Chains A and B, each alone.
Chain A
Amino acid sequence: SQTIHQWPATLVQPVGSPLSLECTVEGTSNPNLYWYRQAAGRGLQLLFYSVGIGQISSEVPQNLSASRPQDRQFILSSKKLLLSDSGFYLCAWSVLYLGGYTFGSGTRLTVV
């Protein structure tokens, strides 16, 4: 069966520190992968998506970057975190024939 792993669940980081969030998918090949951010009590904003290894599209200009070093691995990074980077980060995958997205359990990032 297909599963998605996202870690860590919570993270508190000081301003100016680096960030690395990892997401891995099991049970499917060549998925589309996505990073979303959710502000408290709000909807989801798409940050990055990837249709294949090394292929990253950015939806909004920001302090973050994404990489896809392997087919089923998606990494969200920052060299220097800002207070405004705080939020709930969600990784998701999809394949065309299924239609719906499968989400990870999310990482709550607090930048202090």
Chain B
Amino acid sequence: SQQGEEDPQALSIQEGENATMNCSYKTSINNLQWYRQNSGRGLVHLILIRSNEREKHSGRLRVTLDTSKKSSSLLITASRAADTASYFCATDAEAAGNKLTFGGGTRVLVKP
């Protein structure tokens, strides 16, 4: 079964609004990563947060990690139409042999 599960599966917002998506996982992790995928393209690495970190920022992206709840959130502030994509969380865990395990993704539509 997948280690990471994103919620919601799909999200539709207006340009300028914030988008928040969540990821839950099952086993202890070394780090958690978020990726973006434009339709029909490869994945692009956005941000990595280590298990001893609680929050990380990169431009308009803010990632939080709560290891006690085994969950993470990705916040995109002031969204733009170009942010329309699928977003995936992936966990790096010893239980998985330190290979990334991906969730099913959140499809985000930002309407202009």
A-to-B contact residues, CB < 8 Å: 6, 34, 36, 41-44, 46, 49, 59, 88, 90, 92, 99-106, 108
Query: In the complex, A53 Cα to B104 Cα: how many Å?
Result: 31
Q: Which of B35, B40, B45, B102 is in CB contact (< 8 Å) with A108? A: B40
* Nearest Cβ on chain A to B16's Cβ, whole angstroms: 27
* A contacts with B: majority SS: strand
B-to-A contact residues, CB < 8 Å: 2, 31, 33, 35, 40-45, 48, 88, 90, 92, 99-105, 107
Question: Could you say which residues of chain B place their CB within 8 Å of the CB of A92?
Answer: 43
Q: Which of A34, A99, A104 is in CB contact (< 8 Å) with B31? A: A99
Question: Could you say which residues of chain B place their CB within 8 Å of the CB of A99?
Answer: 31, 33, 48, 92
